[in-house]
Amino acid sequence: SPLSLTGHLRSAVDTIFDYVDRTNFAALGAFGIIGLLIVIILVLSTVENAMNAIWHTDRGRSLFRKVMDYLALLILLPISINVAVAGDAILESPKMMGYISAIIPSLWLIRMLLKFIPFLFVVLTLMLMYLFFPAAKVRTSAAFGGAVFAALTWFIVLKIYVVLQVGVANYNAIYGSFATVPLFLIWLHLGWTFILTGATLAYALQHRNHYHFPGSRPTPRRWLQMAFDVLLTVYRNFDHRLPTGLEELADALPCEKPDDLEKTTRLLVRGGLLNRIGDNGEEQFLPAAPADRIAASEVVRLVLGRDSVPSTGGHIADMIIRAAEQGVDEKILATAHTTAQVSDHAA
pLDDT at 137: 82
Q: How far apart are CA 20 and CA 14, in angstroms?
A: 10
Q: Does 8 score more than 60 pLDDT?
A: no
Answer whether residue 192 shows pLDDT above 80: yes
Region 57-70: mean pLDDT is 76
- The model's pLDDT over 305-322, given as tens digits with 9 standing for 90+, comes to 777 777 888 788 788 777
Higher local confidence (pLDDT), 206 or 107: 206
pTM (predicted TM-score): 0.63
Burial class from Cβ neighbours inside 10 Å (0-12, 13-18, 19+) for residue 281 reads middle
Q: How far is CA 55 from the centre of its chain?
A: 6
Rounded to the nearest 10 degrees, the angle between the axes of helix 63-91 and helix 107-132 is: 160
Lowest mean pLDDT across 32-41, 128-137, 293-302: 32-41
What is the β-pairing status of strands 274-277 and 284-287? antiparallel
The rounded distance, in Å, linking the Cα atoms of 272 and 302 is 10
Cα–Cα distance between 345 and 62 in angstroms, integer? 44
- Coil vs helix vs strand at 74: helix
* 47 closest CA partner among 119, 148, 150: 150
CA distance 300 to 221: 10
DSSP secondary structure letter of residue 293: G
Cα gap 303→225, rounded to integer Å? 10
Confidence of residue 152 (pLDDT cuts 50, 70, 90): very high
Res. 194 pLDDT band, cuts 50 70 90: very high
Residue 1 has pLDDT above 50, yes or no: no
Using alpha carbons, select from 82, 161, 162 the residue that is nearest to residue 125.
82
pLDDT at site 3:
40
Helix (H/G/I), strand (E/B), else coil: 145:
helix
Out of 5-9, 49-53, 231-235, 251-255, least confident range: 5-9
Lowest model confidence (mean pLDDT) among 66-80, 133-147, 234-248, 284-298: 66-80
So what's the pLDDT on residue 7?
46
CB 100 within 8 A of CB 19: no
Confidence band for 29, pLDDT divided at 50, 70 and 90: low
In terms of pLDDT, which residue wins out, 226 or 86?
A: 226
Q: How many CB atoms lie within 10 A of CB 79?
A: 13
Instruction: Give the model's pLDDT for residue 234.
Output: 92
CA dihedral 80, 83, 87, 90 (to 10 degrees): 170
Q: Structural domain boundaries of the chain? A: 2-206, 220-346
Give 229's contacts (C-beta < 8 A, 6+ positions apart).
Answer: 252, 253, 256
Helix (H) or strand (E) holding 64: helix 63-91
Q: State pLDDT tens for residues 197-227.
A: 999 999 888 877 766 666 667 888 888 899 9
Distance between CA atoms of residues 249 and 229, nearest Å: 9
What pLDDT was estimated at residue 153? 93
Residues 328-339, mean pLDDT to the nearest whole number: 70
In whole numbers, what is the pLDDT of the chain averaged over residues? 78
171: helix, strand or coil: helix
Fold of 220-346: Arc Repressor Mutant, subunit A (1.10.10)
Tell me which of 57-61, 180-184, 224-228 is least confident: 57-61
What is the structure's pLDDT at 198?
A: 94
Looking at residue 320, its pLDDT comes to: 78
Q: Which amino acid is at 275?
A: N
